[in-house]
Structure 1
């Protein structure tokens, strides 16, 4: 049985990973000129962010210890679900990058 501290730890990691992924995806879509560039950067850099946040925050959860017996379930909870949430937030809730006015860059 999972303790309350483990469940709260997983929720914390899920929320942090979702927010980081949503902000990173939005940044890539707004700043990169090609659609594939945003996709490639998202696929490469968001998992790197997940590695860092999971390593920093998983000490509270106890990956590999008594936290969760199935490591696949743990990775689905802290990586796959937040990524899917962030992508769906970006696609369905945020305005398209063409509708956003960016400030002129100073030289």
Structure 2
């Protein structure tokens, strides 16, 4: 029973991280006035926030399964959601040029 809960928390954390990475990528694409600056911010700041979240949930609360290696945890809980989040934003959301932003 505990293993089912651990894997449920794990899948929920991967899903939450993917949504968070997509939202952060979208925010950087809309707010930055550069051609590729959003890529640097998305690849630089998103993993930091996801790392803090991973430490809080899997370390502090002790939830999630034992994946065997810190590298696997980093790849699955940080790398995969960043890649999926950026892909979702790039392929399935309207381009920033098509979005109306309020005037300052």
TM-score (norm. length: structure 2): 0.86
Give secondary structure in 2 for the equivalent of 1:35.
coil
**Structure 2 SS opposite 1:61:** coil
Q: Which runs of 5+ in 1 are unaligned?
A: none
Distance in 1, Cα, partners of 2:11 & 2:35: 31
Structure 2: distance between partners of 1:61 and 1:85: 23
Cα deviation, residue 75, structure 1: 2.2
Matched residue, 2:97: 98
CA–CA separation in structure 1 for the residues paired with 2:39 and 2:56: 26
Shift of 1:43: 1.3
Query: How far apart in 1 are the matches of 2:4 and 2:70?
Result: 18
State whether residues 21 and 83 of structure 1, in contact with CA within 8 Å, keep that contact through their aligned partners in structure 2.
yes
SS of residue paired to 2:36: helix
Distance 2:77 2:51 in 1: 10
Counterparts of 1:1-107 in structure 2, within 5 Å, are 3-58=3-58, 59-61=61-63, 67-105=66-104
